[in-house]
């Protein structure tokens, strides 16, 4: 019994030291852009609302401010949580904004400096009424020796995009026999070719997965999206830096 009490007394200072070390670390582990929510809700940035994703290891009270103006406040629970806040005129023009995130836990105070750089492209994608719209259709024909061998229907707007497409062949009744028939498909399949095609497909899927993961990670600090204002699409880029 005495030995058990002695062991308990020896453990108490170690437990207290571990608790003190935990409190000495800031409760916030990461502050990022909530890219998923911002992309899914373009109406948020259109209303000058930015959503951060804050990861905390412990509960703490917070206050987000800009030049002593409180933009958001409350309690952050343990885990990863969105922190939306509205700042009038945030996405109205290109600018750099600085915010302070203050946290309070059991009388201990921490502060994070948040820098948000906004780049706004105010130029409209299409000038309404600038040029008369094109309408109607036309056909492109391909001739050989004075004979129509193919054609493609287009609309007038395709002239702006300069897009091309497959040509529809016109059957030629003058051709008959083997000359008018397509060559027969091969009767054998190369196993080596199938294997190489499968390996190429799997390598492409793996590379695509890595690119998506890299893009998702990059969007946590730099996010490009488009907002709609006055019936005009405006591209914006948001960059986040935390100190």
Mean pLDDT of the chain: 74
pLDDT score for 156: 53
Per the CB < 8 A criterion, the answer to whether 51 and 44 are in contact is: yes
Q: Is residue 219 over pLDDT 80? A: no
The most confident of 14-23, 166-175, 217-226, by mean pLDDT: 217-226
- Rounded Cα–Cα distance for residues 22 and 17 (Å): 9
CA atoms in the 13 A half-sphere facing the CB of 19: 7
Per the CB < 8 A criterion, the answer to whether 62 and 40 are in contact is: no
Task: Identify the band that residue 69 occupies on the pLDDT scale cut at 50, 70 and 90.
Answer: very high
Per the CB < 8 A criterion, the answer to whether 47 and 92 are in contact is: no
Per the CB < 8 A criterion, the answer to whether 31 and 242 are in contact is: yes
What's the mean pLDDT in 118-141? 58
**Measured CA angle at 175 (ends 173, 181), to 5 deg:** 110
pLDDT score for 230: 82
Helices (H) and strands (E) in the chain — how many of each?
5, 12
Residue with the bigger pLDDT between 35 and 202: it is 35
Task: Identify the band that residue 29 occupies on the pLDDT scale cut at 50, 70 and 90.
Answer: confident
- Domains defined along the chain, listed by start: 15-125+223-242 (2.60.40)
Q: The pTM is what?
A: 0.56
Mean pLDDT check: name the lowest of 71-75, 141-145, 197-201.
141-145
Pure H helices in 25-117: 35-40, 43-46
Residue with the bigger pLDDT between 132 and 152: it is 152
Q: Is residue 197 over pLDDT 90? A: no
């Amino acid at each position: 019994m005495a030995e058990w009490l002695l062991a308990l007394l020896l453990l108490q200072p170690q437990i207290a030291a571990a608790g003190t070390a935990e409190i000495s670390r800031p409760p916030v582990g990461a502050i990022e852009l909530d890219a998923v929510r911002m992309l899914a809700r373009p109406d948020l940035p259109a209303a000058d609302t930015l959503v951060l994703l804050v990861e905390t290891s412990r509960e703490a009270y917070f206050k987000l401010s800009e030049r002593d103006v409180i933009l958001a406040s409350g309690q952050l629970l343990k885990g990863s949580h969105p922190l939306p806040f509205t700042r009038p005129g945030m996405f109205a023009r290109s600018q750099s904004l600085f915010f302070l995130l203050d946290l309070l836990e059991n009388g201990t105070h921490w502060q994070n400096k948040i820098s948000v750089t906004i780049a706004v492209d105010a130029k409209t994608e299409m000038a309404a009424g600038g040029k008369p719209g094109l309408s109607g259709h036309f056909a492109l024909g391909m001739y050989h020796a004075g004979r129509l061998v193919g054609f493609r229907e287009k609309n007038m707007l395709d002239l702006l995009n300069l897009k091309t497409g497959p040509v529809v062949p016109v059957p030629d009744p003058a051709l008959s026999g083997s000359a008018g028939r397509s060559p027969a498909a091969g009767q054998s399949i190369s196993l080596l070719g199938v294997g190489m095609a499968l390996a190429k497909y799997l390598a492409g899927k793996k590379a695509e997965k890595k690119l998506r993961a890299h893009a998702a990670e990059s969007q946590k600090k730099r996010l490009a999206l488009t907002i709609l204002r006055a019936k005009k699409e405006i591209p914006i880029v948001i960059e986040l830096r935390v100190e």
